[in-house]
Structure 1
Amino acid sequence: MRNIRILYVCTEDEIKKVEDIATNVWNEHYISIIEKEQIEYMVSKFQSRDAIKRQIKNDGYKYCILNFKGSNVGYIAFKKEGNQIYLSKLYVEKEYRNNGIAEIAIKHLLHICDRDGLEKIWLNVNKKNCKSIEIYEKMGFVKTAEKVTNIGSGYIMDDYIMEKAV
């Protein structure tokens, strides 16, 4: 798909674009899954400019903006862990879903795995996020475990772990 570009995030302006997309997607998509207060907490803790900068600088994450026909419509965040890639974030704005953007993002990660001799991609996804689970399964991911994580302030993440072998 020529209309989709993956742009690595390097500048303050690009980090701000990711933060804006995160705020939009989380408030649109997750409102039917978790409470508004938890959305605000999680965006602030994990997707604010400061959090993104910290993840890039200290934690080894790569962030990429997903650009579709010249518009920044989503992003991914991932990092290598041993012989695998952890896909931490894959979000696409609602009006741009069903255009193959997520599939291109996964193909990009598969290319990295192939290039670097990595064995799999893994992610965690909220158990109530049925739409995303269905999409991941269509792309070859399988549920391998369940995980409950205390993220502070009385909130938890109740997730499936999903993996895709390369």
Structure 2
Amino acid sequence: MKQIQIHQVYTEDFKAVQLIGRETFFETFAPSNTETDMKKYLEENFSDEKVKSELSNPHSLFFVAWEGEKAIGYLKVNLGKAQTELQDETSLEIERIYVKSAYHGKKVGQLLYEKALEIAQRQEKSSLWLGVWEANPKAIKFYEKNGFVAFDKHIFKMGDDEQIDVMMRKSLDYQP
């Protein structure tokens, strides 16, 4: 395996983000959702317009994990009002850490998480938070291993299916 490189990406990189987003979301969630719900979600959430809009939001940052020329995962973090739920100025939201299934267990997710932690520390945030599907025990275990604890739940709409996300938080040393 070549060395993994993590690079911030911008609007002009939308095709790479769109492709890796679609691939990883499908790999992870297609087996547990209907084909109709999956198709609708991918069309709506990974359209050219949606991806470009997310990439151009100054309060969201995207990083792609590369193995050579191949995108193998990505990270999306949100600050301030870009946060999907809490919109807490003292926190950073990890909205997505998606890694291609062929790279699970190869520390790519850990590298992306460490990039989010680095950003939170540089921005002097007091916590990191995220939502993770309750039916994804592997991801929940990953976040628990990294010091996150559950603090609430919320609904995630996947087509017509209402799914439960566990909201998790990790306190950081910085206290404003």
**Same fold by TM (over 0.5)?**
yes
CA distance in 2, matches of 1:149, 1:24: 20
1:42 matched residue in structure 2: 41
Equivalent pairs: percent with the same residue?
21
Deviations 1:113-155 (A, max 9, x none): 211210111111111112211111112111111111457x534
**Gap change, CA 1:73 and 1:51, over 3 Å in 2:** same
**Gap change, CA 1:20 and 1:150, over 3 Å in 2:** closer
CA distance in 1, matches of 2:163, 2:62: 22
Q: CA deviation at 1:75?
A: 0.6
User: Which structure 1 residue ranges, 4+ long, deviate > 6 Å from structure 2?
Assistant: none
For residue 162 of structure 1, what is the amino acid of its counterpart? M
Q: CA deviation at 1:51?
A: 0.9
1:12-161 → structure 2 map (5 Å cutoff): 12=12, 14-58=13-57, 60-81=59-80, 82-150=89-157, 154-161=160-167
Deviations 1:52-94 (A, max 9, x none): 1112324732111111355310111111121111111110001
**Gap change, CA 1:58 and 1:107, over 3 Å in 2:** closer
For residue 10 of structure 2, what is the amino acid of its counterpart? C
CA RMSD of superposed structures (Å): 2.0
- Give the conservation status (yes or no) of the 8 Å contact 2:148–2:168: yes
Please state whether the residue corresponding to 2:125 is helix, strand or coil.
Answer: coil
Q: Are residues 1:5 and 2:2 paired?
A: no
| Structure 1 unmatched runs, 5+ | none
CA distance in 2, matches of 1:114, 1:108: 10
Please report the TM-score for the alignment, with normalisation by the length of structure 2: 0.82
CA distance in 1, matches of 2:57, 2:115: 23
| Structure 2 unmatched runs, 5+ | 81-88
Equivalent in 161, 164, 168 of residue 162 of structure 1: 168
Q: CA deviation at 1:111?
A: 1.3
- Give the conservation status (yes or no) of the 8 Å contact 1:67–1:74: yes
